[in-house]
Amino acid sequence: MDTNTAAADALRATMIEKVRKMGFAQRPEVERVLRSTPRHEFVPEASPDDAYNPYQAVITHRFSDGASLSCASAPFVVAMMLDQLDVRHGNRILEIGAGTGYNASLLAELAGDASNVVTIDIDAEVTAQASRALTAAGYDGVRVFTGDGAAGVPEHAPYDRVIATVSPWDIPRAWWEQLAPGARLVAPLRWRGQSRGVAFTYTNGRLVCDSNELSGFVYLVGDDEGELSGPITHDEAIKLHWDRDQVVVPEALHGVLGEPRSTVWSGITVAGDEPYDGVWLRLTVTDPRVCRINAPADIPAEVCDPIQAGRSPVLVDGDSLAYLASRRRETGSAVRWELGAHGHGPAAVYLAEHFCAEVRAWSVHRDQRKPQLVVYPASTPDHDLHGTIIDKTHSRFVLTYDNGRRRDR
């Protein structure tokens, strides 16, 4: 074994150790393929340290508009999605978003036959690069297509497993039609401004979620008709993002951040490495006003100070809003962060207090208790649905707590 190979093997072993400590690559077969596949060969422009950094995606191609990119997803995300997908030997697999070809090589190993894997990407440069990498690594049997991922690849359907490494706002009709009975679908879906890696089993004509994790990916090209956005500051620096079925009028909020701030603290704290995304997920079930506020990191805190720059939940009600915030709290040597809300506009106090009530309700079970998500075809009538309904173009998302009860408090 030469020195470079030994160094790559050591970096890969360290990567897997860290990924497993995060709670991913829990399936033995997923750990096995991550351990045996040389990720650095699919991202030759990256240093070995970057290629095997468990938290880092490696950008490999930027599209002509400069707004989107193709990359090798961070290893912990790859492991998370493969755990969710639960590939079995002999499965037929469709991958939406070819990337570098690395993920397709892992899928080929899991399926036991490279010809069982079909991958598609809309960008010809991306598919050409993925094909070259797959062939060089010995996976030339993987079928690589250039085309619209939303259309899938019907000529090789039906599929036992479908995985999207781009983020759709909806589940396209073609994906529904290309699923085999009992198939699993894993995709980073978007609703109410958030993005979550969701795993479904296709059963009785519907998709039943059994895994739901925070996730973020490049958007599926052309799948943007359902998510809207607009600035709420005159310089257009701060924006809201919401779904088309929500009533949000950005013009009504112009200047609202210049009005006095009303802040309410919840009394609920989290450690620096403790997730709080369940607050946002909960609000997608309990409050139809929740969406996303995007405030760049260079915006002064006195103007807008969300818990996470660019991606934080916000409640919008006419000419008022309140968004999730945090403050440092120290008890002896322990440092924690208290969750709260900053509100602006005539209903600022009400919205901030309501936000904190939702934080407290979430905190009872934290992320050990997530809502159930079931996705139905768009033609499903209302009387067959029970819970919070979010309508898309091709499907209807239904979220519930406690067997259909909308609220758990």
Cα–Cα distance for residue pair 88/393, rounded to 1 Å:
31
User: For residue 120, how far is the Cα from the chain centroid?
Assistant: 19
Inter-CA distances, 282 with 137, 255, 262, Å: 43, 29, 23
**8 Å CB contact between 171 and 254:** no
- Of 314, 306, 315, 284, the C-alpha closest to 398 is 284
The DSSP H or E segment spanning 372 is: strand 372-377
CA angle, corner 291, sides to 337 and 224, nearest 5? Answer: 130
3-state secondary structure of 30: helix
User: For residue 194, how far is the Cα from the chain centroid?
Assistant: 7
Own/partner long-range contacts of 121-126 (Cβ < 8 Å, ≥24 apart): 121/70, 121/97, 121/145, 121/146, 121/149, 122/146, 122/147, 122/148, 122/149, 122/221, 122/222, 123/61, 123/63, 123/70, 125/61, 126/60, 126/61, 126/70, 126/98, 126/99
Cα–Cα distance for residue pair 43/130, rounded to 1 Å:
10
Question: Catalytic residue at 70?
Answer: yes
Q: Using CB atoms within 10 Å of the CB of residue 392, give its burial: 0 to 12 exposed, 13 to 18 middle, 19+ buried.
A: buried
- Of 359, 388, 189, 219, the C-alpha closest to 280 is 359
Cα–Cα distance for residue pair 41/136, rounded to 1 Å:
9
**CB neighbourhood size of 343 (10 A):** 30
Given 36, 70, 105, 312, the catalytic residue: 70
DSSP for 232-291, written as a single string = SSTTS-SEEEEETTS---GGGGTTGGGSPPEEEEEEEEE-TT---THHHHHHHHH-TTEE
Residue 154 per-residue DSSP state: G
Q: Which residues are catalytic?
A: 70
